[in-house]
Amino acid sequence: MKKIFELIDKYKELILYIVFGGLTTAVNFVAFWICGKLLGEDLYYVSNAIAWFVSVVFAYITNKLFVFEAKSFTPKVLFKEISVFFSARVFSFFVEEGGLVLLVWVLNFGEYSMNVLGFEINGQLIAKALLAVIVVLINYFVSKFAVFTKNTKE
């Protein structure tokens, strides 16, 4: 049991990133789904933009407070964190938007759908799930090495 707690302590940051990354992804997918219902499936890229913004705000707050435990709240540090965090997320947003165009328009993922536990999963959502893996990896490395650096944790 002691060994398990040592491993949890050793990989705490990564475990928390995965947990809060999962929650951020859930926030993103729920917002995407709701927007899709409200705006229609043809405007999936607009739904994705709205879902992106909501999830980035959620991710910044949870990453700062719980994952990387960045303790500084000075205006200078907050400005640096927020600007780099959102800039990196804009980059990964364009990776995701470009990936959606590629998968939905070029590779015709929009033609596919399946029913899972009574919920229709359309091709856009399938494409979004595939792209989520790439986006999570990009975001973790940027957050760890460029946003929440040592000086923001002290």
Q: pLDDT tens for residues 90-128?
A: 998 889 889 988 998 899 887 877 778 887 878 888 888
Contact of 127 with 104, CB cutoff 8 Å: yes
For 122-140, what is the HEC assignment? Answer: EHHHHHHHHHHHHHHHHHH
Residue among 31, 36, 38 nearest 104 (CA): 36
Residue 42 predicted with pLDDT over 90: no
Cα separation, 57 vs 67, whole angstroms: 14
Apex CA 81: angle with CA 76 and CA 87, to 5°?
A: 125
Which token pair is 18? 């995965």
Q: pLDDT tens for residues 54-86?
A: 999 999 999 999 999 888 899 999 999 999 999
* pLDDT at 79 (0 to 100): 93
Contact of 80 with 148, CB cutoff 8 Å: no
Residue among 53, 54, 51 nearest 124 (CA): 51
Point out which residues pair with 116 in neighbouring strands. 119
